Amino acid sequence: MSHFVDELATENNTKIVFLVLDGLGGLPVKGKKGTELQVARTPNLDSLAAESVCGLMDPILPGVTPGSGPAHFALFGYDPVEANIGRGVLEAAGINLPLTDRDVAIRINFATRDAQGNITDRRAGRIATEINQRVCEKIRRNVSLKPDADIILETVKEHRAALLIRGDALGGDIDDTDPQKLGVPPLEPVANTPGSEKTVALVKKFLDQAHKAIADEPNANTVLLRGFAKHKPYRSMYERYKLKSLAIANYPMYRGVAFLLNMDLHPVTRDTASEFQAVKEKYDEYDYFFVHVKGTDARGEDGDFDAKVKVIEEVDTLLPALTDLNPDVMVVTADHSTPAAMSGHSWHPVPVLLKSDICRPDLVTRFDEISCIQGGLSRMPSMQLMPIILANANRLQKFGA
Amino acid sequence: MSHFVDELATENNTKIVFLVLDGLGGLPVKGKKGTELQVARTPNLDSLAAESVCGLMDPILPGVTPGSGPAHFALFGYDPVEANIGRGVLEAAGINLPLTDRDVAIRINFATRDAQGNITDRRAGRIATEINQRVCEKIRRNVSLKPDADIILETVKEHRAALLIRGDALGGDIDDTDPQKLGVPPLEPVANTPGSEKTVALVKKFLDQAHKAIADEPNANTVLLRGFAKHKPYRSMYERYKLKSLAIANYPMYRGVAFLLNMDLHPVTRDTASEFQAVKEKYDEYDYFFVHVKGTDARGEDGDFDAKVKVIEEVDTLLPALTDLNPDVMVVTADHSTPAAMSGHSWHPVPVLLKSDICRPDLVTRFDEISCIQGGLSRMPSMQLMPIILANANRLQKFGA
């Protein structure tokens, strides 16, 4: 489907502000009158909803609880099942390592092992990021896979790092070497398919050299390799939709997804107010503004209903900073639900509102999961939203005669 | 999907009246209390809606604005993307040229060129249809592609004609020869794929001979070729659904689509009242009546909100002529939206009502885009409607044991 819509996409000078309140969808809990969104006082979101077409969206498929990666791909109109990527690629993208189609991406956990080679700490005592940087530098200086491959190694934080093995015809179908328990040595890397055997040979060479290089480290004296993934580049937001896109997001995961779609990344900002301010500052330079608010998800994960309500109310108070720009299309939605009642992601569909001068408003006058059931968008997969946004921005040509 | 449903279709003596109000869907405009349908006084449609199951339909996909061709294919249960056809085929079908699977169909614009061969009028001064007929006759008498191919050439109207090149192994992947500007000669026909090279050779032969034949014409002394399309025949409405179908439509485009699906074509009638009368007259002879009303779309294209309201109200007044026949299934819907506010087609979903004795009515008591959101059909792609119609007509067998 996506390919067919892409061919209709056309340039225009219209502006789209796409506000994602991470994990916004919720559930009622005892003693509260409804979900987090229902309980929150949200006069700005409600009056926006009254002028919008509203609905509910399933991030992946009904009943499927998504991770943040696929849930965001769906919001950008990419098939979340097809676009689903290994953790290695997400980790590398999260620190904006420039990935190529010759790369196998791998997450590294630095770990501690004893004289017998058995793991005693799977996170190397959560070493400081500065130590991680020093250890990575040691490896970079002492490890080489030339002429078969290059390695790109970068610190993420604490005990985590990202590794790219870059070479020709390298498969990524390799299981983790993390045994997920203590008192045993790391697992040997094993190729699940013949196409990954060359990579496994290179990984073994990497491990031999890296272990020698960091043998004298008190904590980080071994590495566990996880989330092997061959990188397949995505068609960018510009290639697909002709949208010059800016991502305003403060967490590596979301910056990573935006990076993979070749959006420009705004520098990390202090808070939601600064994020909204960034839209205003960059308003003339871009067509599409992806604005990501993390607090709703974080407080949901904490299981803190009241705190999540408070984040929603803060966003509502700040909302005029975006709506006063009067974008041609204003969207507020979520990647997935994170009900405080569940302290984690869930499959529940997420509310969405879309306002434009030509959106055909419905009868919904309150932005919450229950009111939006009555909306004109009805219920649909999240990945169907992007064509509707483009249509409302007058950026899709007619199909057929 | 369609193939699977087709196998369940079975004969019956039930009657289906399928009323399409072209471009019915609308948008609210300032100073009016809602959309065209909301503003229109429609007591008959409303009481029909109260006995119906209602909903909203996306002609192609959410966000995609359709042309009339694919939008109608979807209403007849044909995948609108797969069934999408070149303009050449639509033009030929519109004047009911009998197409075969050996045909490449091409739209012709007669044009004027000067002594240097440069185009001075892309529409040959919009010559009268009678002149077009005379020029076509000249070409038919003087042009031959035998033994490689036959040509079928027919006047459409004014400067427009339809051409079929009929032969073996002819591809249709050829760009227009219309340069879309004046002061330059027509473009040379170019094959985009090797399979169309044979056709291009024939087209060049056609052009050489035709130019000689019409060299002395004051206005129509050259032709521009557009919308090259290889014809792939469709499975007919009868083959797929066992429906003896009559199309009651007054415009070439809709007659053309019906023709391609092998519906019988009622002679062109004077007005909507005559169209409805035709259903009554032919009621015993057919199972399925496609009744097409153009005025809603035409007034929407004009951007005339009030005139579109008036067309809707006229249809409502005439509606008892259809409902008094008491068909087993009565459907009222649209191919797409043509909001007066946009003076053109749009992507907005269209309202649908379906009445039968076994339709499970919902709470909708007003036939408009906003009320139908609450309907029992919810929101669905237009191409899913046909199986529901067949089911309500007791024309679909059970699937599986």
Span B38-60, pLDDT tens digits: 999 999 999 999 999 999 999 99
How many Å lie between the alpha carbon of B138 and the closest alpha carbon of chain A? Answer: 30
Tens digit of pLDDT for each residue in B167-223? 999 999 999 999 999 999 999 999 999 999 999 999 999 999 999 999 999 999 999
Are B362 and B385 in contact by the 8 Å Cβ rule? The answer is no
| CA-wise closest residue to A362 among A121, A52, A145 | A52
Burial (CB < 10 A; 0-12, 13-18, 19+), residue A129, is: middle
pLDDT at position A1 is 46
Which residue among A4, A388, A397 sits closest to B62, beta carbon to beta carbon?
A: A388
Q: How many CB atoms lie within 10 A of CB B376?
A: 16
Q: Is A182 on the interface with B (CB under 8 A)?
A: no
- Chain B positions in Cβ-Cβ contact with residue A377 (cut-off 8 Å): 62, 379
Mean pLDDT of chain A: 96
Are A142 and A213 in contact by the 8 Å Cβ rule? The answer is yes
pLDDT at position B257 is 95
In terms of DSSP bridges, do strands A150-157 and A222-230 run parallel, antiparallel, or are they unpaired?
unpaired
Mean pLDDT of A103-111: 96
Are B357 and B51 in contact by the 8 Å Cβ rule? The answer is no
Query: How far is residue A248 CA from its own chain's centroid?
Result: 12
Question: With an 8 Å Cβ cutoff, are B373 and A396 in contact?
Answer: no
Which residue among B65, B84, B348 sits closest to A360, beta carbon to beta carbon?
A: B348
- Alpha-carbon distance of B392 to A389, in angstroms, equals 35
Q: Is B77 on the interface with A (CB under 8 A)?
A: no
Tens digit of pLDDT for each residue in A117-165? 999 999 999 999 999 999 999 999 999 999 999 999 999 999 999 999 9
Q: Which amino acid is at B235?
A: R
Are B72 and B381 in contact by the 8 Å Cβ rule? The answer is no
Question: With an 8 Å Cβ cutoff, are A401 and B67 in contact?
Answer: yes
The β-bridge partners of B17 are B289, B330
CA pseudo-torsion sign A271, A272, A276, A277: negative
Place of tokens 């590794």: A163
Triad A139, A141, A147: Cα angle to 5°:
95
Question: With an 8 Å Cβ cutoff, are A398 and B65 in contact?
Answer: yes
pLDDT at position B2 is 54
What's the token pair of residue A48? Answer: 């926006």
- Alpha-carbon distance of A168 to A195, in angstroms, equals 11
Helix (H) or strand (E) holding A15: none
Which residue among B35, B60, B341 sits closest to A399, beta carbon to beta carbon?
A: B60
* Residue A373 DSSP one-character state: G
Triad A72, A75, A81: Cα angle to 5°:
65
Q: Which amino acid is at A318?
A: L
Q: Is B341 on the interface with A (CB under 8 A)?
A: yes
Mean pLDDT of B129-134: 96
Tens digit of pLDDT for each residue in A263-317? 999 999 999 999 999 999 999 999 999 999 999 999 999 999 999 999 999 999 9
- Chain B positions in Cβ-Cβ contact with residue A388 (cut-off 8 Å): 62-63, 347
What's the token pair of residue B302? Answer: 């004009």
In terms of DSSP bridges, do strands B103-113 and A350-355 run parallel, antiparallel, or are they unpaired?
unpaired
Phi, psi of B54 (to 5 degrees): -120, 170
Which residue among A385, A392, A398 sits closest to B66, beta carbon to beta carbon?
A: A398
Q: Which chain B residue is nearest to residue A387, measuring alpha carbons?
A: B63
Q: Which chain B residue is nearest to residue A362, measuring alpha carbons?
A: B370
Secondary structure (3-state) at B342: coil
Q: Residues with Cβ < 8 Å from B204, sequence gap 6 or more?
A: B188, B189
To test the contact with chain A by mutation, choose from B85, B90, B347 the residue with the greatest count of A C-beta atoms within 10 A, namely B347
Which residue among A361, A390, A399 sits closest to B66, beta carbon to beta carbon?
A: A399
- Alpha-carbon distance of A283 to A325, in angstroms, equals 8
Phi, psi of B303 (to 5 degrees): 75, 20
* Residue B217 DSSP one-character state: -
**pLDDT confidence bin for B229, thresholds 50/70/90:** very high
Maximum alpha-carbon separation in chain B: 74
Q: Which amino acid is at A27?
A: L
Q: Which chain B residue is nearest to residue A388, measuring alpha carbons?
A: B63
- Chain A positions in Cβ-Cβ contact with residue B348 (cut-off 8 Å): 360
- Chain B positions in Cβ-Cβ contact with residue A386 (cut-off 8 Å): 63
What's the token pair of residue A244? Answer: 């010059």
Tens digit of pLDDT for each residue in B292-331? 999 999 999 999 999 999 999 999 999 999 999 999 999 9
CA distances from A5 to A71, A125, A287, B62, B70 (A): 20, 50, 18, 10, 14
Q: Is B374 on the interface with A (CB under 8 A)?
A: yes
CA pseudo-torsion sign B388, B389, B394, B399: negative
Higher pLDDT, A83 or B44: B44
pLDDT at position B1 is 46
Tens digit of pLDDT for each residue in A326-365? 999 999 999 999 999 999 999 999 999 999 999 999 999 9
Secondary structure (3-state) at B333: strand
Single pTM value for the model: 0.92
- Alpha-carbon distance of B51 to B54, in angstroms, equals 9
pLDDT at position A383 is 97
Which ipTM was obtained for this model?
0.91
How many Å lie between the alpha carbon of A396 and the closest alpha carbon of chain B? Answer: 7
CA distances from B239 to B15, B79, B173 (A): 17, 16, 29
Triad B350, B355, B357: Cα angle to 5°:
160
Are B339 and B35 in contact by the 8 Å Cβ rule? The answer is yes
> DSSP labels for B151-179?
EEEEEEETTEEEEEEEETT----B-----
pLDDT at position A372 is 98
- Chain B positions in Cβ-Cβ contact with residue A358 (cut-off 8 Å): 27, 339, 341-342, 346
How many Å lie between the alpha carbon of B285 and the closest alpha carbon of chain A? Answer: 32
Size of interface A-B (CB pairs under 8 A): 93
Q: Is A267 on the interface with B (CB under 8 A)?
A: no
How many Å lie between the alpha carbon of A398 and the closest alpha carbon of chain B? Answer: 5
Place of tokens 């929150």: A40
Tens digit of pLDDT for each residue in A184-223? 999 999 999 999 999 999 999 999 999 999 999 999 999 9
Q: A154-163 in b/e burial notation, b at 16+ Cβ within 10 A?
A: bbbebbbbbb
- Chain A positions in Cβ-Cβ contact with residue B252 (cut-off 8 Å): none
Triad A350, A355, A358: Cα angle to 5°:
130
pLDDT at position A2 is 52
What's the token pair of residue B44? Answer: 């008959």
pLDDT at position A85 is 81
Are B100 and B231 in contact by the 8 Å Cβ rule? The answer is yes
- Alpha-carbon distance of B105 to B149, in angstroms, equals 13
pLDDT at position B298 is 96
